[in-house]
A and B are shown apart, each in its own frame.
Chain A
Amino acid sequence: MSTRLASGGRLIDRKTTQKFTFNGTWLSGFSGDTLASALLANDQMLVGRSFKYHRPRGILASGPEEPNALVNLGRDDRLEPNQRTTTTPLFDGLQATSQNHWPSLEFDIGVVNNYAARFLPAGFYYKTFIHPRAAWKHLFEPVIRKSAGLGRAPKDRDADRYEQAYAFCDVLVVGGGIAGLQAALSAGRRGDRVILLEQAAHWGGRAPVDGDAVGGMAAGDWLTAALEELHALPNVTLRAACTATGVYDHGYVLAAESLADATPGDGRPRQRLWRIRAGRIVTATGAIERPLSFAGNDIPGVMLAAAMRDYVVNHAVSPGDRTVIVTNNDDAYRTALVLRDAGLAVPVILDARPAPAGPLVEAARARGIRIEAGRAIAKVQGGKRVTGVQICLQAGEGAVLEEISCDAVAMSGGWSPVVHLWSHCGGKLNWDDRLSAFLPDPARPPLNHDGRAMVTPAGAAAGIFEPDAILTSGEVAGADPDSLGEVQDELLARQSVVVPPVWVMPQGARADLRAKMWLDFQNDVKVSDVQLAAREGYESVEHTKRYTTLGMATDQGKLSNINGLAVLAQALGEDIPQVGTTTFRPPYTPVTLGTLAGEARGEIFQPLRRTPVHGWHESHGAYFEPVGLWRRPYCYPRSGESHADAVKREVLNTRAGLGLLDASTLGKIIVKGPDAGRFLDMLYTNMMSTLPVGKCRYGLMCNEQGFLSDDGVVARLDEDTWLCHTTSGGADRIHGWMEDWLQCEWWDWKVYTANLTEHYAQIAVVGPKARALLEKLGGMDVSKEALPFMAWSEGSLAGIPARAFRISFSGELSYEIAVPASQGLAFWEACLAAGAEFGISPYGTEALHVMRAEKGFIMIGDETDGTVTPLDLGLAWAVSKKKADFLGKRGMERNHLSSPDRWQLVGFETLDGSVIPDGAYILAEGSNDNGQRNVQGRVTSTYYSPTLKHGIAMGLLHHGPSRMGEVVEFNKTDGGTVKARVADPVFYDKTGEKQNV
């Protein structure tokens, strides 16, 4: 059984007990435990079920590489599925449940998949479930989905919040083992700004557990001294419990820091995302131990040798009473020694090598531990827990020589340097035959903006495993990265560590054994699956990975990739480097989506742009619609009033008396300079250079293709200054468009642009009483003579400095008044107060739309959709024929755009007075070669007109303007049609009397 040892445990505090539940049962552990160590201390070896076969699984590792021991952590609005117990710090009140079983962990129906495993090899689903056709969606797929999937899906909104922060440094060191600490020391001592990150909550990595001397001291002492010095350096920042998850171009690194994971509800953000811009990066990310592939290597109780050592030394937990060690390298002997020191039995060390030797081997021998060379595990016995192993020759096919009873197996297949961060941005790898591992190739690093190496590896991450060599590599990586390549070659050549390739155990294992050797534990990919993939022609690593799902589980192949690759290479008769690795992609370990999304939630999910009057709208019950990042009042419903009724009232009130519109969102771009006129003549389809100072002109802009992209009124402020109004949604786009041309094409033109949209509040005073209101506010002559239609003037109104533009988008007498943003609300309120006697009432965007449609004015985004030209809309008058060039001119001249056969703008009146449905098409006879019904036009704007009391519409119709009076048919989605008569699009006040008073 697994249990807590009576003494020891570097990281636990036996004085602080912490209670937690697993599947509803209360258990206890100590502060400093991980959930995994606490479960082991309570003899909870069985912790989960595998993905495909629902096999019973235990804890395999002690870090982020853990594939098996995942739980649903927390509940309700704090439920987190697939949480790795090995990296979850224990806290009082923690609640965990195991995953992927029904009805219980101990008894799981899904395990039938295990018994049927031979019928469910890799890719079986591609070969079956083909007939009958409907069964896939309705029967097979739902069953497959239900049985896969691992953790429970949260239902609730997350109770926690997340924050994001930026950091900058000269050197970012990733990994707080001795290599990283040394690198941080050497860079820090030189005065570089250093950030040092460690994914675990404690510093030192493997060294304190492995027990070798470091720099002539005990590892613990070295660690204390190093940390002391680093803490004292003001230019060095240390962050534990912070994982660097991805390296992006130009030294951009993301790191996820755990803040309140172990103290839920303490008010702090749960996690923090660091976006670090680093001059360069040192990856001192260590190495991950590899499992060995023998039959039954997934049975609970089989553990990585170093992980077992971690649990004994760090947490004083023994995973078993009798542990068989199986290895192809010296390192696992440490585990044997540690177990012996803790008073636990090690019946045998099975070493696949024919003649193991060296100090660790000798030490084990000296302690009287039985060592069997050239031996392997033929098969692990047991179901939910190891009960013994069968021993065979490594060189054979698995004939059993001996059975040994035991309750745990510690395995080591060598080490894989963590090269993920090195590889994210293109760092290349070399295969090292002595270590049987891929190492970063210092000659082919990822490059920074200056062409120099962006990442340098140090320590075990570079394949260097002996403490003093690690310190040297850390020292050089921190201070002198350019010479690192040479130093590393030398260190590698000097070290005595050798890991012979042992990819399958035993070497000639029979098919039945190979079908029980797990490569990818979580996804249930076995040696036989990879061999099957190779046999079926899925020869590239990527094909094999996808066909078998090898390496695609939540541990991202940290344990399985190299083993799988080696099996594939063997099956293909190729070398491992020839087969190559799959691509390493961020994140290094999975990152919480909430952390990546950060604080952007709810109201502040995106930046919210508010006009100066926004607060007033809110407090007066406006119903808003999003317009870009703005929110604009759609209408102002009174209590009990529907939106449609509110719109109707607002239209009628404005037409009959006085309405007020917050038009502050309109784009306002200043274009200034000696070449401003010439520039605007290129930008707009009509002439702007000839606009007299003091006047306004409606202008159109096209893209290069000749399609209409924006419109608005331009006012000339002085000799070389124009103010260009754009659509609300278009301001930023048009400003960018202007700058694009000025910076990339016409860079020598003397023009300056500034987007002043937010500097002014712009309020439209609209209706027959508009002039009366402004006169009452006083301060400016707004008479017909002083301020005629399409003119503007400057002065003050109600004591507020103002610019009044005499323009109209409603067909009424109308002024748009721009005042400084800071006085926008005051002006709005002044208008309302003074306008009470005229029956003033604010109106929203929908009333605006209805009124402009009644007048036949086009709306960008309704009449246009990126395929419509000014000519299609009857706006030929606004397209200059004189100008030699403007944006879109040549585009418009192309065959298809200049063809007389285009759909053109007209109005429509339904015969029955109803409103044509939004988006309807106008039917034509017959259908095309693809069997689609022919059409001859479509509706672009359609409204109920409160003024005219029937439906009105604008739309595009083939040869439209020449078909006035004709009746056409619009389709409805229910199959019916609506008949309408082609009409002039100006439905209201055709002569323009009302706006021109």
Chain B
Amino acid sequence: MKRYSVFAIAREALRHHSGWDRAWASPEPRASYDVVIVGAGGHGLATAYYLGKNFGITNVAVIEKGWLGGGNTGRNTTIIRSNYLQDPSAAIYEKARSLYETLSQDLNYNVMFSPRGVMMLAQTHHEVRGYLRTAHANALQGVATEFITPQRVKELCPIMNIDGPRYPVLGALWQPRGGTARHDAVAWGYARACSAMGMHIIQQCEVKGVRSEGGAVTGVETTKGFIGCNKLGIVVAGHSGQVADMAGFRLPVEAVALQALVSEPIKPCMDVVVMANTVHGYMSQSDKGEMVIGGGTDGFNNFTQRGSFHHIEETLRALVETFPMLSRLKMLRQWGGIVDMTGDRSPIISKTPLGNCFINCGWGTGGFKAIPGSGWAMAELMAKGEPGPLARDFNLWRFREGQFIDESVAAGVAH
């Protein structure tokens, strides 16, 4: 793998960029692998990467039915934060956030992690108390957050209207080292690094069945034939229910559409990420200048990657009210993704009823930020066969026992 750098670009410029290698190979599948991961989203690719990097396991295939990074990893609004309430959540999201800090250097691929700061607005007294609670929890979890005054909110984000007549801003939970990253680059950077370790990323290959023998997995049926494996990781987000079904177990997961949109690009006017849960909308400005906007999920289950219009409208109402200068900008694109929601709005990183078959799903509306941490924890689980401290609480059995890691406590939707 040729390293990327300013010098490499200069060298290539002289020969019209004819010497760049493929970022990742496009191999035919082998008959079997030590580990097969289903789903080349961020979580699947990161799992493969840390299997190689942390455990030296490189006889790995990542199987993707479409194109890598084309699921929610390539559709999300890229908010990265770790100011979660519950201990297990704060641990894994903070692990992920701290890995993001050095991910570009680690992968030699600029994922444009931009710790510009994330603020979550409190617009009711109830919300103030909720965020104060999170701030107290974060202080003990080693997550740097702070509850800030409306004046400070205004300083950090001058385009915000903090004293609207209905929901004046009463303060905000501020995580200065939260931010955004370039979503495609995260998938591509991991893919390139996996490919460089000799792993196979097999695109346009859909898993259609899971084969097992004596209660343990032996491989997967795919549109490119049977592929054997010793261990299987299912990391398919919105399609988890279907693939789990192939492996013979059911999941407490629902699929719903979550939408986002961007405005036309304008010159920089917002340096932070703002989330407003009472009025329900959130926004940041991309490096291209587009205002990146998201809202809530549809109230019904479906698998079409488009949502209903009324959500877009509600979200825009909320944001135009919060940021009056938005009114004359234009919506450029809207899209949706299918998110996998668990009952407690926390993910599942777990062994399954099928031997040597592991699952990582349930990241719902907020798993982009978790990609490095999730991959790290999933790789440990798959390599050792038992979860480490990051994954332990996120087991599948917690629903049966009632041992929830309820994050909806802190916010209706956790992006």
Tell me the A residues contacting B by CB distance below 8 Å.
51, 78-82, 118-119, 121, 124-131, 133, 136-137, 141-142, 144-146, 148-158, 160, 162, 246, 248-249, 252, 254, 275, 424-426, 511-512, 515, 528, 532, 535-540, 542-543, 546-547, 549, 552, 554, 556, 583, 585-587, 590-594, 596-598, 600-603, 605-606, 608, 625-627, 631, 634, 705-706, 861-862, 865-867, 891, 894-897, 917-921, 923, 928-933, 935, 938, 971-973, 975
B residues 180-233 touching A (CB-CB < 8 Å): 182, 184-185, 188-189, 203
- The residue of chain B having its C-beta at the shortest distance from the C-beta of A539 within the complex is B26
Stretch at the interface among B48-56, B137-145, B234-242, B354-362: B137-145
| In contact, B104 and A537 (Cβ under 8 angstroms) | no
Stretch at the interface among B29-37, B307-315, B363-371, B378-386: B307-315
| In contact, B128 and A918 (Cβ under 8 angstroms) | yes
| In contact, A153 and B267 (Cβ under 8 angstroms) | yes
* Closest CB pairs A-B (n = 3): A149-B289, A919-B133, A929-B389
B164 at the interface (CB under 8 A from A): yes
B residues 42-86 touching A (CB-CB < 8 Å): 66-67, 69-70, 74
A118-B16, A528-B17 known; A540 and B203 CB under 8 Å? yes
| In contact, B343 and A585 (Cβ under 8 angstroms) | no
Q: Which listed residue (A79, A246, A538) contacts B309, Cβ 8 A?
A: A246
> Quick one: CB contact mask for B253-291 with A, threshold 8 Å, 1 for yes?
000000000011111110000000011000001011100
Residues of A within 8 A of B140 (CB): 921, 923, 932-933, 935, 971
A118-B13, A536-B22, A542-B70 known; A129 and B110 CB under 8 Å? yes
A358 to B91, CA, bound (A): 73
| In contact, A625 and B125 (Cβ under 8 angstroms) | yes
A866 to B123, CA, bound (A): 20
B390 at the interface (CB under 8 A from A): yes
A130-B105, A144-B287, A145-B287 known; A590 and B17 CB under 8 Å? no
A152-B266, A894-B400 known; A932 and B110 CB under 8 Å? no
A141-B287, A542-B74 known; A918 and B110 CB under 8 Å? no
| In contact, A596 and B331 (Cβ under 8 angstroms) | yes
- The residue of chain A having its C-beta at the shortest distance from the C-beta of B85 within the complex is A865
B residues 321-377 touching A (CB-CB < 8 Å): 321, 324-335, 343
Q: How far in angstroms is the closest Cβ of chain A from B383?
A: 18
| In contact, A626 and B167 (Cβ under 8 angstroms) | yes
B155 at the interface (CB under 8 A from A): no
| In contact, A248 and B16 (Cβ under 8 angstroms) | no
Q: How far in angstroms is the closest Cβ of chain A from B203?
A: 7
| In contact, B312 and A973 (Cβ under 8 angstroms) | no
A51 to B286, CA, bound (A): 14
Q: How far in angstroms is the closest Cβ of chain B from A897?
A: 4
A-B contact pairs, 27 of them (CB 8 A): A82-B330, A124-B9, A127-B8, A130-B5, A133-B105, A136-B110, A141-B114, A150-B266, A153-B159, A157-B325, A536-B22, A537-B22, A537-B23, A542-B74, A547-B184, A552-B333, A586-B334, A587-B333, A592-B328, A596-B331, A602-B164, A625-B124, A626-B166, A867-B409, A894-B402, A929-B392, A973-B135
A146 to B265, CA, bound (A): 11
B residues 1-27 touching A (CB-CB < 8 Å): 4-6, 8-10, 12-13, 16-18, 20-26
| In contact, A156 and B325 (Cβ under 8 angstroms) | yes
A150-B264, A151-B266, A539-B26 known; A593 and B188 CB under 8 Å? no
| In contact, A136 and B139 (Cβ under 8 angstroms) | no
Residues of A within 8 A of B301 (CB): none
Q: How far in angstroms is the closest Cβ of chain B from A921?
A: 5
A250 to B140, CA, bound (A): 51
> Quick one: CB contact mask for B143-170 with A, threshold 8 Å, 1 for yes?
0001100000000000101001111000
Residues of B within 8 A of A928 (CB): 87, 389
Residues of A within 8 A of B161 (CB): 157
| In contact, B325 and A511 (Cβ under 8 angstroms) | no
| In contact, A866 and B406 (Cβ under 8 angstroms) | yes
| In contact, A705 and B343 (Cβ under 8 angstroms) | yes
A705 to B342, CA, bound (A): 13
Residues of B within 8 A of A126 (CB): 4, 109-110, 182, 185, 188-189
A473 to B312, CA, bound (A): 35
| In contact, A158 and B164 (Cβ under 8 angstroms) | no
Residues of B within 8 A of A81 (CB): 264, 266, 328-329
Residues of B within 8 A of A252 (CB): 309
Residues of A within 8 A of B137 (CB): 919, 921
| In contact, B112 and A141 (Cβ under 8 angstroms) | yes
Q: Which listed residue (B112, B115, B132, B265) contacts A150, Cβ 8 A?
A: B265
B136 at the interface (CB under 8 A from A): yes
| In contact, B113 and A136 (Cβ under 8 angstroms) | yes
A129-B110, A511-B18, A894-B400 known; A150 and B289 CB under 8 Å? yes
A80-B328, A596-B316 known; A867 and B26 CB under 8 Å? no
| In contact, B328 and A158 (Cβ under 8 angstroms) | yes
A397 to B27, CA, bound (A): 34
Residues of A within 8 A of B123 (CB): 626
> Quick one: CB contact mask for B378-415 with A, threshold 8 Å, 1 for yes?
00000000000110100000101111101011000000
Q: Which listed residue (B13, B114, B269, B332) contacts A136, Cβ 8 A?
A: B114
| In contact, A542 and B67 (Cβ under 8 angstroms) | yes
| In contact, A600 and B317 (Cβ under 8 angstroms) | yes
| In contact, A149 and B309 (Cβ under 8 angstroms) | no
Q: Which listed residue (B70, B330, B389) contacts A591, Cβ 8 A?
A: B330
A586 to B105, CA, bound (A): 37
- The residue of chain B having its C-beta at the shortest distance from the C-beta of A131 within the complex is B105
Q: Which listed residue (A154, A542, A938) contacts B133, Cβ 8 A?
A: A938
A593-B263, A866-B409, A935-B140 known; A930 and B390 CB under 8 Å? yes
Q: How far in angstroms is the closest Cβ of chain A from B358?
A: 20
Residues of B within 8 A of A121 (CB): 9, 12-13, 17
B99 at the interface (CB under 8 A from A): no
Q: How far in angstroms is the closest Cβ of chain A from B245?
A: 23
Residues of A within 8 A of B165 (CB): 602-603, 605
Q: How far in angstroms is the closest Cβ of chain A from B309?
A: 5
Residues of B within 8 A of A532 (CB): 17, 20
A554-B265, A894-B401 known; A866 and B408 CB under 8 Å? yes
| In contact, A917 and B266 (Cβ under 8 angstroms) | no
Q: Which listed residue (A125, A145, A600, A625) contacts B110, Cβ 8 A?
A: A125
A128-B110, A536-B21 known; A933 and B136 CB under 8 Å? no
| In contact, A155 and B325 (Cβ under 8 angstroms) | yes
| In contact, A125 and B403 (Cβ under 8 angstroms) | no
Q: Which listed residue (B267, B279, B334) contacts A146, Cβ 8 A?
A: B267
Residues of B within 8 A of A156 (CB): 324-325
B292 at the interface (CB under 8 A from A): no
A861 to B139, CA, bound (A): 22
A552 to B87, CA, bound (A): 40
Q: Which listed residue (A592, A606, A867) contacts B330, Cβ 8 A?
A: A592
A591 to B9, CA, bound (A): 39
A118-B16, A538-B23, A867-B406 known; A554 and B264 CB under 8 Å? yes
| In contact, A592 and B329 (Cβ under 8 angstroms) | yes
A157-B324, A605-B321, A626-B123 known; A540 and B67 CB under 8 Å? yes
| In contact, B409 and A973 (Cβ under 8 angstroms) | no
A80 to B266, CA, bound (A): 10
A600 to B322, CA, bound (A): 12
B320 at the interface (CB under 8 A from A): yes
A972 to B114, CA, bound (A): 29
Q: How far in angstroms is the closest Cβ of chain A from B300?
A: 11
Q: A515-B16, A601-B320 are in contact. List 9 more A-B contacts (CB 8 A).
A: A128-B110, A137-B115, A149-B267, A248-B308, A275-B309, A536-B21, A538-B188, A920-B136, A921-B137
Q: How far in angstroms is the closest Cβ of chain A from B291?
A: 9
B90 at the interface (CB under 8 A from A): yes
Q: How far in angstroms is the closest Cβ of chain B from A847?
A: 13
A119 to B128, CA, bound (A): 49
Q: Which listed residue (B265, B287, B316, B334) contacts A151, Cβ 8 A?
A: B265
